[in-house]
Structure 1
Amino acid sequence: MPEIFHPYASFGHQSKMPMRFEADVYECEVEGEIPAELEGAYFRTGGDRQYPSLEDDIILNGDGMASMFRFENGHVSFRSRYVQTERLKREREARRRLYGHYRNKFTDDEAVSNLPERDNTGNTYAFNHHGELYMLREDSRPYRLDPRTLDTIEVGRFGNLGSTALTAHPKIDPKTGEWWSYGVFARGEPTTDASLHVFDKSGALIREEWFHTPYPGLSHDWGVTREHLVFPIMPLIADNKRLQAGGQYYQYDPDLPSAWGIMPRNGSASEMRWFQIPGIVMGHVMNAYTEGSKVIVDTPVSPGNCFCFFKDKHGNVPTMPETVTQITRITFDLSKPDAEAVTLEPIQGAYGDMPRIDDRYAMEPYRTGYFAFRDFPRMGLAQIDWETGELKFHDLDKAAAQEPLFVPRSPDSPEGDGFVLAVVDRFVERRTDLLILDGNDISRPPLATIKLPFAMPMAFHGSWMAA
């Protein structure tokens, strides 16, 4: 008998169903006028299971659904396609579910128990590396797609790279073009093995260095500055014995502090210094930079487990207040002893996540950041001026924004002079819009609204590729 589709757990204690369709909209409806400077494509990816899952599935386990909005001479067209992973192809051949819970091979059908790319769904970040389009997921090597058609080409191999994992949050050095990356559980199993790796502008591996984390914890994003690397490890612990017993991949331990490893960018992992920060969990980094002896990391943090679909070690899911993230400046003063080195400065009123910046200012002091604003029932987008502390808001009515993305007006325009692209879920109409906002002031009305006649599954992270 065919299996039925179960709802899966998403962020914010939401429950969703997969949407399961690929789409083409050749000429999108547009309100307003597309800025002439926008010539290229906006790529995104998220999780959308094509075949039924087991009960109690989570959004992170969805098959990769890549999408693009292509901008050409004032017109916009849309396309979405499943990433044709080995996992998805095997299920299509069988015409049924073969894979079980998130990163738990012990819950799979016996026919696929040894598939090496079992977890590689390409569902987390549509990443543009100098014209090459990759679909990243932090526990795997990324799939490369054709940026014109979204056809799946191959899995990236990257020469003699030893790590099985490349972070879903790589950092592109705007000066050198280098792709900075790392991976935890880098030998494929939930251990403390981790790997730093760097690729040059052409994608060739030029550096790999191994180290150990304090415990086998979640690490979704990191910080790279001109002088330092920052590796945040969160107290959501992975354990193979729990997986064998049918449990979840991660389990939150509220008694463990988060751990933050900092090493010199041009130094060695043997110089790593680990700091402990109790009572916080983070998933994403807005930006990081170094000023003298201080390493500054701007990040949304929550007082408890913001990955709300993972239970704690007592079997509890977090309460809603424990999951609320607030933009916070964390400063590590490396001239001080560990107990005195760390300060946290939460930004009043800056609630939300999915932070982005003008990427030309990555790794260095900057002024402007953008994020999806979430202070329910108030929802929308927000902009922060780090020099003045001012917040600007673009409020949404009966709608919520996904990750914003900044596109500069020109390669040499001032910081923030450009456009913010933001996909918006319209709950009442059950469809999706793409807003184009003024990057200097997102509180202004949209410059243009691109309308889709249907809803899209949630995408996590995306990138712009100029024509």
Structure 2
Amino acid sequence: MGIRFPNNDFKNFEAPMRAEIDLAGLEVVQGEVPKELSGGFFRLIGDRKWPAFVENDIFMLGEDGMASCFYFKDGRVDFKMRYVRTPRFVAEEKAGRALFGEYRNPFTDDPSVAGLSRGTANVTMLAHAGKLFAMKEDSPVIEMDPFTLETIGEYDWGGAVTAKAITAHPKIDPRTGELIFFGYCAAGPATRDVAYYEADAEGRIIHEAWFKAPYTCMVHDIMVTEHYVVFPITPLRHELEWIERREPAFKWDPNEEVYLGVLPRKGNGDQIRWFKGPNQCHGHTVGAFDDGRYIYADNTFSKRSFFHFFPNVDGSAFSPADTMPYMKRIVIDMESEGDHFTEQKLFEYPCELPRIDTRFETMDYNFVTMNLLDVPGQERVGHGFQWVATMDVNGNKPSKIYYAGDDCSIGEPQFVPKSNDAPEGEGYILTVVGKHQEMRSELLILDASDINAPPVATVALPFRLRSTGHGYWYSTSQLLGETNVLGAS
């Protein structure tokens, strides 16, 4: 049987790679790689091994997870890339064809895989307590070897985690080394159940709580402070009857209110308190902290879902302008008797994929880096994210913007401290640039204090890497389980 991929968005630079790669000693074409960097810059790429048999295949969301890593040691960078061998991947590899149908719709699968996990493990890689996980929010996590990227298998913390799905955006509390994570649709597809967990610094589950969201929806990320967890319930709705009718699994509801569920850390489900606000869609967490009374929770928000392939539930037309996300600060008064929150815009340009110095996760912070979707007055040549920016959320330092180049795309930036005890924001920004005309990619190492200066180093790849959502730096100490806190080495 011949293999042929459809002529859709997965072409040219974004065509499937379908290759597992080992390349020792990447070429440094400019500058020098800092020798103090010891660890790995891990990224998950969506990359289909087999062509889909459904017409409305969704970019990245329905693709097989491909784990990749830039390994740093003594000024040298090696590269490795491996498919995440999920139960889904293994079944399709054995069959030599796609067996799973539409996104988040088990009713469209080949009967031979009924009941098998549909997860693709293609969103985020997490290192905690000496283990490395590939994660996607609709399924269990997959454990991988942090140094070989070989798949070990599904992981449930020794049976202590019973949720059927686990978030791709957990948080690590740098004060305690604890892992904070959750799952939505935790009791099965299109259920309102949310499961909340905490694991101690050694990876043992020490807390579990369940509650029901006001309505079923995508809960992509959470905001965590020292004392609270904030769950954003925004109306990218998900209903069982839609997938039974083979309609899109998610639709945007422009008439539903937003709910922010505030749960005390290690609290029970009946302790959650709901705060309401105007219709909008949450994106990714920037940072969050509390002062005992007020919660300050920073996130990206847009007027509707960023994903154009999820239609409006009322059939109204899709407006690209409504998808533009902006960074906002939500303020919640935990001593008030009301049920509303306030908000303010933090940054003037549309942005996404924000990253802070995670040594300040759950704390008052200043530094953030992010991708920009548009910069008024600067011409865009090409598609995707083309700028990376740094800013001080408290306005103490001016924002800076770096342009990747004409017909180039730039990936999520990752901050790495210059040393383990360096001041906040003193270090490097790692990001992958896709050079579309040349059909290759390169890794940029930028000075976080001045991203407009010449790159600290440019590391070339002799091939292209497809676009991906997220990348994370984990030091050698983190990979070995010696610490759970971000560091340079």
Please say if residues 20 and 49 of structure 1, whose CA atoms lie closer than 8 Å, have aligned partners that are also in contact: yes
Match of 1:411 in 2: 420
Change (3 A) 1:8 1:336: farther
Match of 2:373 in 1: 374
Q: State the TM-score, normalized to the length of structure 2.
A: 0.90
Match 2:461 to one of 446, 452, 460? 452
Partners of 2:94 and 2:212 in 1: CA distance: 40
2:69 is the alignment partner of 1:60 = no
After superposition, the C-alpha distances for 1:323-377 in whole angstroms (9 at most, x for unaligned) are: 11111112122233436x4222113433210011111000010010110122064
Residue 422 (structure 1) shift = 0.8
Q: Summarize the alignment of residues 161-180 of structure 1 with structure 2, pairs less than 5 Å apart.
A: 161-180=161-180
Q: Summarize the alignment of residues 263-412 of structure 1 with structure 2, pairs less than 5 Å apart.
A: 263-315=263-315, 318-338=318-338, 341-375=340-374, 377-378=379-380, 379-388=386-395, 390-398=398-406, 399-412=408-421
Residue 459 (structure 1) shift = 2.1
Greater alpha carbon shift after TM alignment, 81-90 vs 156-165: 156-165
Please say if residues 358 and 416 of structure 1, whose CA atoms lie closer than 8 Å, have aligned partners that are also in contact: yes
Q: Percent identity?
A: 38
Change (3 A) 1:430 1:189: same
Match of 1:27 in 2: 25
Match of 2:197 in 1: 197
Partner SS, residue 127 of structure 1 = strand
Query: 1:136 is aligned with what amino acid?
Result: M
Match of 2:228 in 1: 228
Query: 1:144 is aligned with what amino acid?
Result: E
Partners of 1:240 and 1:451 in 2: CA distance: 46
Match of 1:121 in 2: 120
Partners of 2:179 and 2:434 in 1: CA distance: 32
Query: 1:354 is aligned with what amino acid?
Result: L
Query: 1:142 is aligned with what amino acid?
Result: V
2:97 is the alignment partner of 1:96 = yes
2:436 is the alignment partner of 1:436 = no
Query: 1:383 is aligned with what amino acid?
Result: T
Q: Summarize the alignment of residues 150-161 of structure 1 with structure 2, pairs less than 5 Å apart.
A: 150-158=149-157, 159-161=159-161
Match of 2:486 in 1: none
Please say if residues 219 and 283 of structure 1, whose CA atoms lie closer than 8 Å, have aligned partners that are also in contact: no
Partner SS, residue 218 of structure 1 = coil
Partners of 1:15 and 1:249 in 2: CA distance: 28
Residue 253 (structure 1) shift = 0.8
Gaps of 5+ in 1: none
Query: 2:32 is aligned with what amino acid?
Result: E
Residue 453 (structure 1) shift = 1.6
Query: 1:138 is aligned with what amino acid?
Result: E
Partner SS, residue 360 of structure 1 = helix
Partners of 1:268 and 1:277 in 2: CA distance: 24
Please say if residues 221 and 283 of structure 1, whose CA atoms lie closer than 8 Å, have aligned partners that are also in contact: yes
Greater alpha carbon shift after TM alignment, 169-178 vs 394-403: 394-403
Partners of 1:16 and 1:67 in 2: CA distance: 16
Residue 106 (structure 1) shift = 0.9
Change (3 A) 1:70 1:170: same
Greater alpha carbon shift after TM alignment, 358-367 vs 23-32: 23-32
Please say if residues 13 and 439 of structure 2, whose CA atoms lie closer than 8 Å, have aligned partners that are also in contact: no
Please say if residues 192 and 215 of structure 1, whose CA atoms lie closer than 8 Å, have aligned partners that are also in contact: yes
Q: State the TM-score, normalized to the length of structure 1.
A: 0.94
Q: Would you say how many aligned residue pairs link Structure 1 and Structure 2?
A: 461
Partner SS, residue 51 of structure 1 = coil
Partner SS, residue 284 of structure 2 = coil
